[in-house]
Amino acid sequence: MSSSLDAATDLPPAATRTGAGGDSYRDVGVFLAIVFALPWLLWVVEQITGVRILFFAAMMSVAVATFVAVRWVRRPSSIPRATALVPVRPVGRLLRYCLLAFGIFLVASALAVALNAVTGIYPADLTGFSALRDVYAPETAGQTGFPWAIAAGALAANLVQFVLILPLAFCEEWGWRGYLLNRLRDRIGTWPALITIGLICGVWHLPFWVGPWFSMNAAQRQTVIPFTIFCVFFGVLLGLLRLASGSIWPAVVGHAVNNTVVFGFIQVVVADKDAQPSINAWLTGLSGWQGWLILLTAIGILAAAGVVRRSDRDRLPPVVRQS
């Protein structure tokens, strides 16, 4: 795998180059304005109508913002290359990175669950598997032993959800790690861009918190802070996978598996139902400090493999259509 970490060129050879001084970055302003305005508009619609549209429509709004920014403002000579939709060949190499993205978040989450259990932060229920039963087969509550059939059904259901959510994960990753990463790297450098985008993503999620905000207690409201910190680590890791492969597709896979199998299965399968009300987001799962250390380790491994260095070396400025 290490020899294949040479990232493919993000952008086509430029006949004319646009340096930082001659690039207005107006498209970035347009993108950010749309990407923040639409979710809040959707939140208002959801509050008025009661129709639950925010989760799905907000993810799609990132793709809308990206399309507007690149199609009508930035106008690169090749939108697929400028937004990391390509390269997709060699296919075998791309698939290996997609499998890496799939596995890395499963392993990271499983390690976080195990570390939480060993340190007593979030005890596991290895006798009754009460949380798994409560979520997927409440009629079996109180039974003991590992419920193989229930676990298999839960895993299958989450894998189906993983496939179904891939288009929505694409909508987000096309914007964050496809379009915006390329644009911010040109201005502030790779590492600052990776961190900044993670922070932007965390703040972007605020409309999802506002709805239940007034029904939360003080401890629950604080979860927005560790969640935002998680978004930074999560975003950097997705960004490194995108840089390593040269395209957004591994990041799409990683985003989708995190939103489904990680949250719906890995973090539930050995959890103790009785301990769930006392969950502290600063401590448990990938959003807790132990999870941050695990994600930071994964980031360090990819960084040590030279992902950023090689990607910066191979990067060329884009060609912009002349009006």
Q: pLDDT at residue 148 above 80? A: yes
280 close to 130: Cβ distance less than 8 angstroms: no
Nearest one of 112, 58, 60, 97 to 233, comparing CA atoms: 112
pTM here?
A: 0.89
202 close to 293: Cβ distance less than 8 angstroms: no
pLDDT for residue 216: 74
Does 212 or 74 have the greater pLDDT score? 74
Give 12's pLDDT tier (boundaries 50, 70, 90): very low
**Is the bond into 39 cis (omega within 30 degrees of 0)?**
no
Alpha carbon 5 to its chain's center: 21
pLDDT for residue 23: 67
Q: pLDDT at residue 180 above 80? A: yes
**Mean per-residue pLDDT for 258-275?**
94
C-alpha span between 285 and 110 (Å, rounded): 9
Q: pLDDT at residue 211 above 90? A: no
**Mean per-residue pLDDT for 179-184?**
97
- Helix axis angle for 54-68 and 26-49, nearest 10°, is 160
pLDDT for residue 297: 97
So where are the chain's domains? 2-314
pLDDT, tens digit, 9 for 90 and up, residues 233-252: 999 999 999 999 999 999 99
- List C-alpha distances in Å: 120 to 114, 198, 271, 304: 10, 29, 12, 32
**Segment among 15-29, 75-89, 265-279 with least mean pLDDT:** 15-29
Does 304 or 21 have the greater pLDDT score? 304
**Residue 76 φ/ψ, nearest 5 degrees:** -70, 160
The string of DSSP codes covering 179-244 is IIHHHHHHHH-HHHHHHHHHHHHHHHTHHHHHHHHTTS-HHHHTTHHHHHHHHHHHHHHHHHHHHH
Residues in Cβ contact with 319 at an 8 Å cutoff, skipping those fewer than 6 apart: 11, 12, 14, 15, 16, 76, 77, 78
Strand-pairing partners, residue 76, are 320
pLDDT for residue 312: 59
pLDDT for residue 4: 38
Q: pLDDT at residue 3 above 70? A: no
pLDDT for residue 277: 72
- List C-alpha distances in Å: 176 to 59, 119, 130, 181: 11, 35, 37, 6
In 137-189, where does DSSP find H-type helix? Answer: 148-173, 181-188
Give 321's pLDDT tier (boundaries 50, 70, 90): low
Other C-beta atoms within 10 Å of 72: how many? 10
**In the predicted model, what is the mean pLDDT of the chain?**
88
Give 299's pLDDT tier (boundaries 50, 70, 90): very high
Strand-pairing partners, residue 271, are 124
**Mean per-residue pLDDT for 138-160?**
96
pLDDT for residue 6: 37
Q: Which letter does DSSP use for residue 175 in this model? A: I
Q: With 0-12 CB in 10 A as exposed, 13-18 as middle and 19+ as buried, what is 48?
A: exposed
Q: pLDDT at residue 307 above 80? A: no
**Mean per-residue pLDDT for 188-205?**
97
**Mean per-residue pLDDT for 175-193?**
96
pLDDT for residue 149: 97
**Segment among 63-67, 144-148, 181-185, 207-211 with least mean pLDDT:** 207-211
pLDDT for residue 14: 36
